Amino acid sequence: MKGKEDFFTRKRREIGVALNEVQKKAVLQTNGALLLLASPGSGKTTTIIMRIGYLIEEKKIDPSRIKAVTFSRASAHDMKKRFKRFFPHLQPVHFSTIHSVAYEVMGEHFRKTRTAFQIIEGDLDLEEQKTMDAKHLPLHKKMILRNLFKSMVGDNITDDQMDDLTTYISFIKNKMIPPEKWSLVRTTVPEAERILHEYEAFKRSGHSKLLVDYDDMLTIGEQVLERDRELLRRVQERYDYILSDESQDTSAVQHAIIEKLVRKHGNLCVVADDDQSIYSWRGAEPSYLLNFKQVYPHAITLFMEQNYRSSKDIVTVTNQFIKRNKNRYDKNMFTKNPSSKPMKIRSLSDYIYQTKYLVQQIQKVEQLSEVAVLYRNNSSSIALINEFDRAGIPFFMKDADNRFFSHWVVEDIKNFMRMSFTDKRPDILEKIHLKFNAYISKQQMAALKEIDNNESVFDNLLNHVQLQDYQVKPLVASKETFLQMRGMPPLHAIRVIRDRLGYEKALEKICERLGFRKEYLIGILNTLEEIAVGLETMEEFASRLKHLELVLKNAKFRKDQNVVTFSTFHSAKGLEFERVYMMDLVDGIIPSSDDLKASSAAMMEEAVRLFYVGMTRAKKHLELITYRKRDGEEVKESQFVTAIRSIVNPPKKDVPKNSGAAEKDAIRDQAGLIVGKTIRHSVFGSGTIRRIDKDYIHIQFGSSVKILWITTCLEKGLLEPV
């Protein structure tokens, strides 16, 4: 025991690292399987590095016999740097991603079988993707999928559809779903299943080499280890100790690979937090952690619950909030840090005031690098970029996404504006003729393109193209509208395009036909309006868009500078800041419309975890920003904000006299909850119970369905029979 104590004492003296009792147990528990459940800010990376150092210094394990598998190349790099700082005199350990492990296995197998292969994934410029001729199609995953979509659907795939399609494919591969069940996987992309079948066939036989994408590395690696016993034995014998970090984000196929690697010796340390599992949409398996002992019956489970990051106020509230989820390990995060400032909830009258409010607050801060603004969707960042750029506040974006500026809705608006400068270009009209209320058919558009007299496209349609009687009046009105738009301020012009020209209604029809999310597309229009505020000409508007696109491109190079960080909740995981602002906190965004409509509690629980991840990034100052109106319509603050409000300011237990009837009639027993029964909710009014799960009740209020926690409804008497 003296030697073990000497290690911790020595490290405290050498590098100033002092571990708590649970962290020490995790370091000392070296043999067999260990599940280390680490709450946010609990020092998991320090504990992992100390555990590896202990294996080498105290147990005399050769560093080359230790394998640390991380979720991303960035985290592998960070752990490697941390290890070198803690143990500069030791030989390096293998820190790598699971993809790297799978690639090694796959490479060995292909060398053995003399199979020529080519990786078809990696960076490919967005504009290059769009302009590449199909005849000169590069061997790249996205270009192959783009071509298959065009041939099967008859249209060009949008960037959003490409995202959905690649997510669909990754989900299937990572979940190890067999082909006969691909049709059961939900997607909005037309012909997705057929495209995937053709994609797989093309990779096997469409080229002289076997084509492999990143997901294939995992599935091929797992299959090889399952079939090739000799190769499995060789790989197993390379390492005596394996550590897997961020395992709540690991997929079924990744778990299967790791399980095979440790099968011989069983020395596996899994570090995870089931409360921070937020990637099920791309195949992560959080249930693996809950079932860990089924795979490793003799595993030890340790709970690292002490938070070193956040103030007592933040830890107390977030710990209570995450307990709303039932499908989790029962942990109790705590801290010895003092209280700082109570968590703030800011409710604004309209969403457009969010960015202005954030600018006002952050302009007062000197150390901008300690400030983060978090949001669920990348689309929220464009309005932020616009407002902060105007205010001269620099910012960094970890995952800067320039696709907004090339989105087809943005291109449509620019083309409408171009038509107001000249109505003599049929090539411009062709791009938008189906998206406003002139009712021009494809056949009429083709006839118009044959006319080459440099006259108004509207005059040519009226004078030289066969029209239906009902088309004449709209065409005359459209011509007049475009003439009136000439020289119009861009904000006014966008509103004319949306309303008088009927573009917004056209978008609604496109959403119905193709399954696009209406809220997302309308959000792009709203953001364009915000960018247009204060600009006098459409030329200024076009220049502003180009400027912001350049600003966004440069934002990703500002890491480690004194700048504000903009990030999605997902990308913020693993980061920490003194001050955190979470914005766009309304129902429909967080939780999303899909979360609210979900038929199972799993999606809602993941939304809770995502909100929890956002809150636990804050050290001392946490502010939740919601609003009451968007685009002239009433919206509801996120039910998660409402939950936080009740935790921060719990309702008084003294019942007012005038509420005696409601208290008396409230449903207090689950037996009183019956599918089909009409009830009254204290906030949402009358509704009908549509479904009852284990922990949740689905109630239809008007056109929307709310998913509520049964325990909360019963304990607080929120429901009463009608």
Percent of the chain clearing pLDDT 90 (strictly above): 61
Residue 606 has pLDDT above 50, yes or no: yes
Average the pLDDT over 24-52 and give the result: 94
Cα→Cα distances 84→8, 49, 89, 127, 557, Å:
17, 9, 8, 41, 25
pLDDT tens profile 129-172: 444 444 455 689 999 999 999 999 988 888 888 989 999 999 99
pLDDT tens profile 299-344: 999 999 999 999 999 999 999 999 999 889 989 999 999 998 889 9
Q: Please report the pLDDT score of residue 1 as a whole number.
A: 44
Q: Which residues pair with 700 in a beta bridge?
A: 688, 705
Q: Is 64:330 a contact under the CB 8 Å cutoff?
A: no
Q: Please report the pLDDT score of residue 18 as a whole number.
A: 92
Q: Please report the pLDDT score of residue 493 as a whole number.
A: 95
Average the pLDDT over 355-383 and give the result: 92
DSSP string for 657-687: GGGHHHHHHS--SGGG--TT-EEEETTTEEE
Residue 280 has pLDDT above 50, yes or no: yes
Q: In angstroms, rounded to a whole number, what is the distance separating the alpha carbons of residues 360 and 358?
A: 5
Q: Please report the pLDDT score of residue 657 as a whole number.
A: 44
Residue 223 has pLDDT above 60, yes or no: yes
Percentages of the chain per state (helix, strand, coil), in multiples of 5: 50, 15, 35
Q: Please report the pLDDT score of residue 480 as a whole number.
A: 94
pLDDT tens profile 483-539: 999 989 999 999 999 999 999 999 999 888 877 878 788 888 989 999 999 999 999
| 311-342 core/surface letters (b: 16 or more CB in 10 A; e: else) | bebbbbbbbbbbbbbeebeebebebebeebee
- Collapsing DSSP states into helix, strand and coil, what is residue 222? helix
Burial of 474 (0-12, 13-18, 19+ CB in 10 A): middle
Residue 127 has pLDDT above 50, yes or no: no
Average pLDDT over the chain reads: 88
Start-to-end CA span in the chain (Å): 68
Closest listed residue to residue 579, CA positions, set 623, 612, 611: 623
Helices assigned H by DSSP within 367-465: 380-391, 403-406, 408-421, 426-432, 442-449, 457-464
pLDDT level of residue 600 (50, 70, 90 thresholds) = low
pLDDT level of residue 380 (50, 70, 90 thresholds) = confident
Q: In angstroms, rounded to a whole number, what is the distance separating the alpha carbons of residues 10 and 19?
A: 12
Q: In angstroms, rounded to a whole number, what is the distance separating the alpha carbons of residues 362 and 515?
A: 38
Residue 656 has pLDDT above 60, yes or no: no
Average the pLDDT over 362-384 and give the result: 92
Average the pLDDT over 417-446 and give the result: 91
Q: Please report the pLDDT score of residue 133 as a whole number.
A: 47
The torsion defined by the Cα of 507, 511, 512 and 513, in degrees rounded to 10, comes to 100
Q: Please report the pLDDT score of residue 4 as a whole number.
A: 54
Q: Which residues pair with 446 in a beta bridge?
A: none
